[in-house]
Amino acid sequence: MHPDLTLEAGLRLEASTISQSGDADQEKSFFFAKPRFMATWTPMPNNQLRLRFERELGQLDFSDFAASADLEEENVYGGNVDLEPEQRWISELTYERRFWGEGVVSIGYRHDEIIDAIDRIPLAGGLSAVGNIGEGTLDRLSLNVTLPLDKLGAPGARFTFKNDWNKTAVTDPTTGEERPISGVRATQANIGIEQDITRWKLQWGVNWLPYLGQPNYSPDQVSRWRGTDYFEMFAEYKPSPTLAIRAQLNLWDDFTNSRTVFADRETRAVAFIEDSTVDPRTFVSIRVRKTF
């Protein structure tokens, strides 16, 4: 449209079929149109504003759709043949500023209107299953920073920070009240530093996640896990352009799990609360990669 303004629009059509044969014969087909619009404005060099509007489609988990049996545990899983893919209408605005060569600061806001959100639904007889629970929303604030450290006396080094702050809302199918969506982390910052030492043909880095955690909701219980201080440290040596040797160390602090179990679905009286601590494994890995 203009040297400083680019508009893009497109439409994709997606058709899919999911089916099972054997213990149960069931099949379902889907067809969706997925429009997309993107506007990119560069009001001045190294400054860019992007606007995106798009429809995205989730993919069904086959194990949630298909019926199956576990003979060893004597359990039968009925599957949900009526399960629909989750749909999202996404509106996103991002501002990006580049500086000092590789330096980048970007901040973005995203809003999702969710249709046919997938979560746990209550069934008769005290059972539950994976199903569609209606409409929901997601609001996300994203911040990404890459800061070159050459000017601060560390050539080839860069500091990175990235995080998404998420706020979700959906109507709980058991209580009828608004709650967050299962499995979505409210925040998870990643802070890191990396350095390329060209004369040694070496790259090293450290990443730190100060906080991890997410909730999960079902008709009969609410569970949450939390973790702190996850470190990932690595060093990669490239003696030649086709050979790379990488050593990595992963350190985890303890996880805490909390589970609140309800006595019934009507009053939601608490039957008991279970708290536990998990000591996750710390591990070292070495990878050798050769290209030819």
The span from the CA of 271 to the CA of 276, in Å, is 17
The span from the CA of 135 to the CA of 169, in Å, is 9
pTM, full prediction: 0.85
First to last CA, the chain: 45
Q: What is the pLDDT of residue 239?
A: 93
Q: What is the pLDDT of residue 224?
A: 93
Beta-bridge partners for 18: 28
The span from the CA of 148 to the CA of 131, in Å, is 47
Sign of CA dihedral 211, 216, 217, 220: negative
Between the CA atoms of 41, 43, 49 and 54, what dihedral angle is there, to the nearest 10 degrees?
-10
| Sole residue written with tokens 């606007």 | 51
CB-based contact 146:106 (threshold 8 Å): no
Q: What is the pLDDT of residue 23?
A: 63
Q: What are phi and psi of 151, to 5 degrees?
A: -70, -10
Q: What is the pLDDT of residue 66?
A: 65
Write down the H helix ranges in the chain: 62-65
Q: What is the pLDDT of residue 77?
A: 53
Sign of CA dihedral 60, 220, 165, 109: positive
Reading the chain (292 residues) residue by residue, the pLDDT tens digits are 888 999 999 999 999 888 777 766 778 888 999 999 999 999 999 999 999 999 999 887 777 766 555 555 455 455 677 788 899 999 999 999 999 888 999 999 999 999 999 988 888 887 788 889 999 999 999 999 999 999 888 999 999 999 999 999 999 999 999 999 999 999 999 999 999 999 999 999 999 999 999 999 989 999 999 998 999 999 999 999 999 999 999 998 888 999 999 999 888 999 999 999 988 888 899 999 999 9
